[in-house]
């Protein structure tokens, strides 16, 4: 829900009103409202949601955990120390992975339960944990462009410059 609000705010208030060279200097808003053809959306919501997914790779730890945005997600058993392709569904924020030919939604690690669970030992004893993956350029750009649009008290944060053209 938060992502949808941020995306709507950005596209409606900024992106749609900036002239684009590829549109001959028109804004997306001008082109969209100037097109006489009706908008067609997919009949199936699953097909529509699939259009809003991004894929990325992560290394699975020995404990079958993958790190995404500073959170650990539990992978199904059998993927320890493998590089896996994950999918982020942008409309609901879910992280998914393929397992046995099925797309499985991953859950955030339950750290309280995990703290009491015994760990598998290697022949050489305990090894240091794998380093946290660096944030990609896409992750950094996402955080920069889609910062919160409301503060902790529900008030709107100032994000649009005063000289930005208003909707008429």
Task: Give residue-wise pLDDT tens across range 15-34.
Answer: 989 999 999 999 988 988 88
Query: What tokens were used for 146?
Result: 């889609």
Spatial contact of 87 and 97, defined as CB atoms under 8 Å apart: yes
Q: What's the average model confidence in pLDDT over 115-128?
A: 63
CA distance 92 to 1: 7
The mean of the pLDDT values for the chain is 81
pLDDT band at 127 (very low <50, low <70, confident <90, very high): low
**Quick check: 156 pLDDT over 80?**
no
pLDDT above 70: percentage of residues in the chain: 77
Of the candidate ranges 13-17, 38-42, 146-150, the one whose mean pLDDT is the lowest: 146-150
Burial tier of 49 (Cβ tally within 10 Å: 0-12, 13-18, 19+) = middle
49-65, pLDDT tens digit by residue?
888 899 999 999 998 99
For residue 118, list its beta bridge partners.
Answer: none
What are the start-end ranges of the E strands in the chain? Answer: 53-59, 65-68, 71-74, 83-89, 95-99, 102-105, 107-108
Domain boundaries, the chain: 1-36, 49-147
**Quick check: 37 pLDDT over 70?**
yes
pLDDT on residue 88: 94
12 Cα distance to chain centroid: 20
CA distance 67 to 130: 10
pLDDT on residue 121: 59
Spatial contact of 56 and 67, defined as CB atoms under 8 Å apart: no
Q: What is the pTM assigned to this prediction?
A: 0.48
């Amino acid at each position: 829900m938060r992502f949808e609000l941020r995306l709507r705010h950005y596209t409606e208030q900024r992106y749609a009103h900036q002239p684009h060279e590829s549109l001959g200097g028109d804004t997306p808003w001008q082109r969209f409202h100037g097109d006489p053809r009706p908008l067609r959306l997919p009949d199936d919501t699953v097909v529509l949601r699939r259009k809003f997914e991004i894929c990325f790779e992560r290394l699975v730890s020995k404990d079958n955990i993958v790190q995404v945005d500073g959170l650990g997600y539990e992978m199904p058993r059998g993927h320890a120390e493998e590089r896996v392709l994950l999918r982020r569904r942008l409309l609901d924020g879910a992280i998914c992975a393929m397992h046995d030919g099925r797309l499985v939604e991953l859950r955030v690690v339950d750290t309280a339960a995990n703290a009491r669970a015994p760990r598998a030992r290697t022949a050489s004893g305990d090894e240091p944990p794998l380093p946290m993956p660096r944030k990609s350029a896409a992750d950094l750009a996402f955080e920069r462009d889609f910062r919160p649009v409301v503060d902790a008290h529900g008030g709107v944060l100032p994000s649009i410059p005063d000289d930005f053209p208003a909707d008429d």
